[in-house]
Amino acid sequence: MKCAYCGKEARGTREHIISSAILDLFPECYITFDDARNAIHEADPMVKDVCAECNNNRISYIDSYAKEFISKYFVKKYKEDDVVEIEYDYTLIQKMLLKYAYNDMRSRKEDCSFFDEEILEYLMDINNNVPKDNITVMCGLAVNVSPVPDSMFGNMKLRWCKSPFLYSNSTIRHIDYNTGEVFLNEDIKKEEFPDLRLSYAFRFNSVQLLLFCWDKESTSIEQNNIVLECQYPYHLLKKGEKQAILPVCTDELNYHRFDHIHVKWDGLFEVGLMRKYASGGKYEYKELCEKEWLEEEKKISKEHPRGK
């Protein structure tokens, strides 16, 4: 087998698509729902085409950072008015998402030509800390503002997908404030970005990260970044920036459908608020249900300990 990172002939070792160290933070999520293969199983999602040297030594620093970053801020759930300020290392965030996307794409046998020698070198070199200009990362806080508890859709704290659907306009056309009636926008197009080679959405419990990989030669990257920043309720991570306050990026619908990226001005944000006020300002039964579920999760974690 040829190693997917260094290219040398070697025996393949098992590489987690999402670091084992991150999966370890959420032992209660012990089931893998694999839509691509139409399967549900207990084993971790893996690929097996990385040599032992790359897997254990050369690229493992990325996993260490990923664990540090996720465990520091996103193991807990947040409320919509919480102010969450993160400190981050932009290069390492880029590398972490690139690595996961690359792993996932290989496991699906997709065209991985974006991951050329330059990108692979970038991933393998711990000392290369110059972020790539043709990579964009956005980050938002995933808060369940819906009346529906998380557990209703399964224990899906960790999710990722290729090519999330980025809306070009609000899903809601009009709200009649006299009756509360909501009129949907029937035909919303997907926002197209010139020179986009691939994109991914990742949900790690209470954070959502979007990865955009642009053509190296593209002259539209700056413009694409401006559109992304103006149009979506995420913080666009920047070279040289070390801290950021994360906006809430979810409404009551796409909290559960994480691959639907709604625009900042989507009427759903308002509909969610209206619904909540109409329920007396809080979702009492959801809160009760969530409290019970926390206890249940503790039991599940004990029954399915993760260990090496």
Residues that bind Zn ion (CB under 5 A): 3, 5-6, 51, 54
Three-state secondary structure call for residue 183: strand
Q: What does the block give as tokens for 170?
A: 């609000």
Name the residue nearer to Zn ion (CB basis): 47 or 201: 47
In the complex, least distance from residue 103 CB atom to Zn ion, rounded to whole angstroms: 13
Q: What does the block give as tokens for 214?
A: 């642009």
In the complex, least distance from residue 55 CB atom to Zn ion, rounded to whole angstroms: 7
In the complex, least distance from residue 58 CB atom to Zn ion, rounded to whole angstroms: 7
Name the residue nearer to Zn ion (CB basis): 107 or 199: 107
**DSSP summary character for residue 57:** I
Residue found by looking up tokens 């809306």 in the block = 167
In the complex, least distance from residue 198 CB atom to Zn ion, rounded to whole angstroms: 22
Name the residue nearer to Zn ion (CB basis): 51 or 92: 51
Pairing of strands 260-261, 165-166: parallel
Q: Phi/psi of residue 120, each to 5°?
A: -65, -40
Name the residue nearer to Zn ion (CB basis): 51 or 135: 51
In the complex, least distance from residue 12 CB atom to Zn ion, rounded to whole angstroms: 10
Name the residue nearer to Zn ion (CB basis): 6 or 274: 6
**DSSP summary character for residue 189:** P
In the complex, least distance from residue 6 CB atom to Zn ion, rounded to whole angstroms: 3
Q: At what angle do helices 60-73 and 90-107 cross, to 10 degrees?
A: 110
Name the residue nearer to Zn ion (CB basis): 51 or 138: 51
Name the residue nearer to Zn ion (CB basis): 50 or 141: 50
In the complex, least distance from residue 54 CB atom to Zn ion, rounded to whole angstroms: 3
- Nearest CA to 13 among 44, 56, 42, 45? 56
239 neighbors 129 (Cβ within 8 angstroms): no
Name the residue nearer to Zn ion (CB basis): 4 or 23: 4
**DSSP summary character for residue 63:** H
CB-based contacts of 252: which residues, under 8 Å, 6+ apart? 145, 146, 147, 148, 268, 271, 272, 275
CA–CA separation, 49 and 194 (whole Å) = 32
CA–CA separation, 305 and 308 (whole Å) = 10
Pairing of strands 85-87, 243-245: antiparallel
Q: What does the block give as tokens for 72?
A: 């520091």
In the complex, least distance from residue 211 CB atom to Zn ion, rounded to whole angstroms: 23
CA–CA separation, 186 and 31 (whole Å) = 36
